Amino acid sequence: MKLSANLAPDIKRFIGTILLSELTHAIRNRPSGNRDNFCIYLDEFQNFTADADDVQVLITEGRKFGACLCLAHQERYGQLAEEKWLHFVENKKLVGATATITNKILFQLTPHDAAEMASEFAPKPGEEHFRREPALIISPHAVSDIWNRGHPREEIKWLRGKYYWIADLLRSDEKYFIFDPDRVSSEYGQLDGYRLNQFKIHWPKFDDIDFYRASREMLTRGISLLNDYYRNWMEKRYRGDSYVSDNELQLMVQIIECLGGLFGIRPTMMPYMPDLNRHLFLRVMRRADAQHARDDLAINRDWIASYTRRKIDGEVGFYFDEDQKRNWNKASPPRISAGAVEEILNLSLRAPKGIWLHPQTVREIQAIAISEGLSLRDVEKLFEWDIFPGSDREQVALEKYVETAANRYADEGSPDSYYKEVAQTYTEILARRGGDLQRAAWQVAELHQLVFIGLRAGGHILKHSPVLVQSAAYEGQGRRNYDQDDLTKEMAHDLGNIPHYQAYAKLITQEGNRQVMKHHVVETFPHEKEVDFLYTDGDVVIETARRIDTAHKATYQSRDTRPRILINEEIHQRRTAWREEKRGDGSPDKTKPLSDFT
């Protein structure tokens, strides 16, 4: 039965549902002794699924009633589970019932259907199924790889939480990254076999916390240097039982200079006001001074007028009552003049790009700018940040301490007197700059922890447990047998990319006394109009036609597919034989219509 394409979908679905319901009823009432096989072809059968129970019965129970179903549709989870016509919960029955069909012929599938059907078509793994693994190489990005994928060693896990979180900062679009005291928590306070920082810190003592930061360029360079340092260890260029070389020492110092601010170890950046911003800000202040002077003059005029009126009224004396004093304080609050601000800026340290400012000075100028009406956005733009100008004495003390702390890893039995002397020198330098000895002691302990555990111990551990990643090269020793999951994934890819004029088939065949499931790759025939169109497209299509002709010959031999004229002839012969058998006298029953199969 073929319905007109112009019918509304609701009407076609209604007619199809009635026919399918009547057919199901007739099949169930067939007598048990007269159940010859007959075929039911349903093209685009999702249009007949308004009542999923009828289709489900035909699929799961039709065989015992002699019904042979041939169902065709495009895809499963958009058509069979369409909520527009039926609740998905009920249509799950239909989706499951169609999955039980044994003989399947699949053309190019959707990714969802391909993943579901792949397990039925994937072969069992054998000796011929193997693949070559990519060669593993030492990771050039150890910090980010450990942060993203972890590491089996407990020491590296501790370092990951303590330091390697900096790799995650680069995902944001911030220009500067400031030291966060919350990162220094008790969560990372225990590590078996290592002496950790035992000093306590009172965080309000970090009144210059803005100095402890890193720009995006500094952070990127610091992580790159740290990756190079670990790579040298994993390539066995450094040794844990020897003192640090000059190359290793300079690399460690550069890492600390870039990342020390983010870990709260040392100030790394300092604010400055560019000369252009300074001139513009002082111009705003001078304008504000002139406006305040005009306001003060207007207030004085009001007072003089008030005094004159009081004098005319007979009151003597020149005085102001308490209300007038309060009004004066409210109308003219105390403020800093442009001259005072200019004097503060002139007393600041000159920098190549402007003038260096102390954090307290920065906060004072910000408060003045806001009081004069500048927006927060404009106030932030007043200042820039540059690398902290450390003294030569501080740089020498830092290098000496880093070398001493690193060498203690190679010779932990050495006397502590020299180490304590070097540590005390560097602590005093930090305390003189920060103004607090307790904070400086905590910072030196944190620096020792970074050098001893984060760099030397971490590198030595990675030397024996390196971070490996896959390369683009393949080597012979990389051979590994496929498992069933691998073959299923490959089959899902193949089913989702079946070319034109080809199909995958799973069919039951009879071999002796048993049924065997076989899989075939079938070459199908293009439509006659499509073949005519191909021959009009030049020499390129001749090769396509030749391939199709070769596929025709192959399928004739395998009997997977045959031309339609041969199939129609065979159907006619079977109908004739069936009628002769039904009539019983050996002659055709011409009174019986050809469409009567029941």
Indicate if 294 and 263 belong to the same structural domain.
no
Indicate if 278 and 262 belong to the same structural domain.
no
Q: Residue 594 has what pLDDT? A: 40
24 part of a folded domain: no
Position 405 pLDDT exceeds 80: yes
451 part of a folded domain: yes
423 part of a folded domain: yes
Q: Domain end: 381, 416, 434, which one?
A: 381
Position 167 pLDDT exceeds 80: yes
What is the token pair recorded at 273? 């006001």
Nearest to 260 by CA among 359, 394, 147, 367: 394
Q: Residue 221 has what pLDDT? A: 95
Q: Domain end: 322, 351, 381, which one?
A: 381
What is the token pair recorded at 532? 């005519």
Indicate if 251 and 174 belong to the same structural domain.
yes
Indicate if 397 and 428 belong to the same structural domain.
yes
502 part of a folded domain: no
Position 583 pLDDT exceeds 60: yes
Nearest to 426 by CA among 445, 398, 460: 398
Kindly indicate the confidence band of residue 96, based on its pLDDT and cuts at 50, 70 and 90: confident
Indicate if 158 and 263 belong to the same structural domain.
yes
Indicate if 159 and 259 belong to the same structural domain.
yes
- Percentage of the chain surpassing pLDDT 70? 70
Report the number of distinct structural domains present in the chain.
2
Q: Domain end: 466, 501, 517, which one?
A: 466
Kindly indicate the confidence band of residue 330, based on its pLDDT and cuts at 50, 70 and 90: very low
Kindly indicate the confidence band of residue 519, based on its pLDDT and cuts at 50, 70 and 90: confident
397 part of a folded domain: yes
Position 205 pLDDT exceeds 90: no
Q: Residue 260 has what pLDDT? A: 92
Least confident of 94-108, 260-274, 529-543, 554-568: 529-543
Indicate if 226 and 372 belong to the same structural domain.
no
Indicate if 202 and 260 belong to the same structural domain.
yes
Position 252 pLDDT exceeds 90: yes
Position 101 pLDDT exceeds 90: no
Rounded Cα distance between 390 and 267, Å, is: 9
Residue 400 CA: distances (Å) to CA of 50, 263, 345, 430: 84, 20, 36, 14
Position 505 pLDDT exceeds 80: yes
Q: Are 25 and 58 contacting, i.e. CB atoms less than 8 angstroms apart?
A: no
| Mean pLDDT over each residue of the chain, to the nearest integer | 76
Indicate if 313 and 172 belong to the same structural domain.
no
Position 467 pLDDT exceeds 70: yes
461 part of a folded domain: yes
Q: Are strands 38-43 and 67-72 parallel, antiparallel or unpaired?
A: parallel
Best mean pLDDT range from 229-233, 301-305, 593-597: 229-233
In this predicted model, which residue has the larger pLDDT, 325 or 202? 202
Kindly indicate the confidence band of residue 582, based on its pLDDT and cuts at 50, 70 and 90: low
Q: Residue 254 has what pLDDT? A: 95
Count, residues in the chain: 598
Q: Are 476 and 71 contacting, i.e. CB atoms less than 8 angstroms apart?
A: no
User: Helix %, strand %, coil % for the chain, to 5?
Assistant: 55, 15, 30
Indicate if 264 and 394 belong to the same structural domain.
yes
Report if pTM > 0.85: no
Q: Render pLDDT for 54-69 as a digit per residue (tens, 0 to 9).
A: 777 788 888 888 888 8
Q: What is the DSSP string of 269-314?
A: EEEEEEHHHHHHHHHHHHHHHHHHHHHHHHHHHHHHHHHHHHHHTT
- Those residues whose C-beta lies under 8 Å from the C-beta of residue 398, and which sit 6 or more positions away, are 253, 256, 266, 390, 426
Indicate if 195 and 166 belong to the same structural domain.
yes
Q: Render pLDDT for 535-552 as a digit per residue (tens, 0 to 9).
A: 444 454 555 556 556 655
Domain that holds residue 291: 274-381
Least confident of 206-220, 299-313, 430-444, 497-511: 299-313
Rounded Cα distance between 491 and 495, Å, is: 6
Kindly indicate the confidence band of residue 480, based on its pLDDT and cuts at 50, 70 and 90: low
Indicate if 366 and 308 belong to the same structural domain.
yes
Q: Are 81 and 47 contacting, i.e. CB atoms less than 8 angstroms apart?
A: no
Position 51 pLDDT exceeds 50: yes
Instruction: State the number of CA atoms in the 13 A half-sphere of 405 facing the CB.
Output: 28
Kindly indicate the confidence band of residue 341, based on its pLDDT and cuts at 50, 70 and 90: low
14 part of a folded domain: no
Position 47 pLDDT exceeds 90: no
Position 88 pLDDT exceeds 50: no
Q: Render pLDDT for 411-453 as a digit per residue (tens, 0 to 9).
A: 755 567 788 888 899 999 888 877 788 888 999 999 999 999 9
439 part of a folded domain: yes
Q: Residue 569 has what pLDDT? A: 83
Average pLDDT of the residues in 11-21:
80
